[in-house]
Amino acid sequence: MISELVKYVSVYLTSMVKFIAGPTTGLATGLTLGETLVFTVLGMMTSVVMFSLLGERLRKLWTQYFPQRKRKKLFTPRNRRIVTIWTRWGVQGVAFLTPVLFSPIIGTILAASFGAPKGKIVGYMLVSAIFWAAIVTVVMYYGFGRFVHPV
């Protein structure tokens, strides 16, 4: 019983930080495909909801303790790509790419920083989490599953 709970919590916590790690952890710990899918989505959505609701407060705290110095803005290739994604596809594009390119935390902060409404962020991130969790989990279990022996 406790060992099963530890497996669930490990998938849940890893998915909160890095989405792709959820299905990998689920496969490695021997969870079923369905269990892995559910806890991966729950982990990502916990981060999304937390940072959507607390994002403004956390930003204010951050700037209070770590004030920004004035410096000129740098447009790195990565920043240009992010702005291109936002201007072309908006919150839907950021949400769609969050599980595979960003972490749930970074994707949520990114969408919020562009001014997307909290409800849209959570809604689109949920659809994206379900979509990518299904694809990544199935690929992990049926593609790599034959090479992995659960712990």
pLDDT in tens, 86-116: 788 888 988 998 999 889 999 998 888 888 8
Distance CA 99, CA 107 (A): 8
**pTM, two decimal places:** 0.82
pLDDT at 42: 98
Q: Report how far apart, in Å, the C-alpha atoms of 21 and of each of 9, 34, 82, 104 are.
A: 13, 16, 23, 12
Q: What are the sequence ranges of the domains in the chain?
A: 2-147
